[in-house]
Chains A and B, each alone.
Chain A
Amino acid sequence: GIQVEQSPPDLILQEGANSTLRCNFSDSVNNLQWFHQNPWGQLINLFYIPSGTKQNGRLSATTVATERYSLLYISSSQTTDSGVYFCAVEQGFKTIFGAGTRLFVKA
């Protein structure tokens, strides 16, 4: 089946720093989403981005479907950005999550 790999697995940032999270997938997909799982376990929908670039405040994402990767950019990080960031891809009616990037932002 399709493999979804995220990097880095762990990331520690000083508040105000920028970062890039990567998601590679091994086969063509219908859709791709980025989620933030906050410390309370909630999965928050960040971007629905099967291709192209989108921005939402300090966050932006780019998916290059032909090269099978997506990037999530976090600028001017804040302590509230801490948590786990998941990439999830859809093939048909099945959704596969990556293992996530665990981010900790220090004050």
Chain B
Amino acid sequence: EPEVTQTPSHQVTQMGQEVILRCVPISNHLYFYWYRQILGQKVEFLVSFYNNEISEKSEIFDDQFSVERPDGSNFTLKIRSTKLEDSAMYFCASTRTGSGQYFGAGTRLSVL
């Protein structure tokens, strides 16, 4: 069964460094999403992406964040200058019209 793939599974970085989290959505899906989940809390929407542009973003998704679909398969989330409070699990999801969202296994980001 097709699945959403995220790499790396765990990323450790120093405060102020840039990180790029990578996702390969399911191949026939057209809508892509990033979420984050701080340990023990609920899942928070960051951004949705369709037709090579952002469809909607939350208040969390400020100028430090950006998304890109650099080729036909990858979907990336970049955090320009990480802060301690960016430490969380980041999930990528994808879907197509009339279907639910399918989530990757997540990338745990630890900012030291």
Q: Which A residues are within 8 Å of any B CB, using their own CB?
A: 31, 33, 35, 41-43, 45, 47-48, 86, 88, 92-100
Q: How far is the CA of A31 from the CA of B95 in the complex (A)?
A: 12
Known: A41-B106, A43-B103. A93 touches B43 (CB 8 A): no
Q: Which residues of B contact A99 (CB under 8 A)?
A: 42
Q: Is the CB of B45 within 8 A of A48?
A: no
Known: A93-B55, A93-B56. A98 touches B101 (CB 8 A): no
How far, in Å, is A45 (CB) from chain B's closest CB?
Answer: 5
Q: Which B residues are within 8 Å of any A CB, using their own CB?
A: 31, 33, 35, 42-45, 48, 50, 55-56, 58, 89, 91, 99-103, 105-106
Supply 17 A–B pairs (Cβ within 8 Å), ascending by A: A33-B100, A42-B103, A43-B103, A43-B106, A45-B102, A48-B99, A48-B100, A92-B56, A93-B31, A93-B55, A93-B56, A94-B58, A95-B35, A95-B101, A97-B43, A97-B45, A98-B42
| A90 nearest in chain B by CB position | B101
Q: Which residues of B contact A48 (CB under 8 A)?
A: 99-100
Q: Which residues of A contact B101 (CB under 8 A)?
A: 33, 45, 88, 95
| A97 nearest in chain B by CB position | B43
Known: A33-B101, A45-B101. A100 touches B42 (CB 8 A): yes
Q: Is the CB of B42 within 8 A of A86?
A: yes
Known: A45-B102, A45-B103, A48-B99. A93 touches B42 (CB 8 A): no
Q: Which residues of B contact A97 (CB under 8 A)?
A: 35, 42-45
